[in-house]
Structure 1
């Protein structure tokens, strides 16, 4: 698959309020811990030799108010994020292709895809998006759920495809984005479920390559 896109470009209509947000300490600790693990696995971060040097990967968590917190756009360079690096998505409208958010940083370019996952099931509380060439290239060998290659990341078509996939396969805990180079999304009721799915897929992909 040959994909030519600029990583990290926000494609949806963004209505953003530039103001501080407060994320519960326990949620911040969970996101920080799992982001650190994914950074060590090199599926989140920023590398001059990958994706034109843009930051890649993001995490989000559902709030008690049915909004969700998501790491901000182009924050991959930071080893540890502070609250100012997060955004709160207050409302996401897939049909209108729009996001309403607030925070000192704008939400990730994948915020609409995260929203589609949350809207598909009230039981999903965490969504992790990372970039793994090993998993991406082993999609067929591992028989992983996938969004077709003709659907670009961060688009309304992607959000609609995510909704369709999760309705067809409600038991799945992740999928590959074939139209988004190395793009993987995992999710779950807990951060542990989302993170361990990612780690298990990576381990299985590495076994296929060995």
Structure 2
């Protein structure tokens, strides 16, 4: 009886892996479908928010592939961008993935890295932006001295928040400085009824 029971257990275990693989494939298919259809719902904030958060699953998978082989991987077949970093906010238990290229199209799917800025580990400011109703909705909860962690292909880096301010983008552009710092920006105020104003919430963090 014990041998028979063990045999049944091994047979069940052998079926688990294929089932998980099929489930993962279906999840990716569904997410990709959500991202590529529903254009008639472009005006729906619910659809836009769902698309923004679901996209992060595909971006996370693409980032793992990049870490494995060191090559850029678009998160879906028609994407003209790829993930370049993973942001972690320990005090807020928030994690998000950063796409290359600060275009409005890319920002619909996640935080974006300004190509003219630097990357962590280089002596030039790294600028990352995202929408305040999705991937940077929590940015206003950061406090001075909070730590921000960022993972890139070159390694993992930690920064401490040193400055938080609201700036008028019509009068002041982001200053890209000759130092290793992280600048995160989003629209302000949070939870505004209308978007696209000129105010920006800017968080600056210095390398530890």
TM-score, normalisation: structure 2? 0.27
Higher relative contact order by CA 8 Å / sep ≥ 6: 1 or 2? 1
Larger Rg: 2
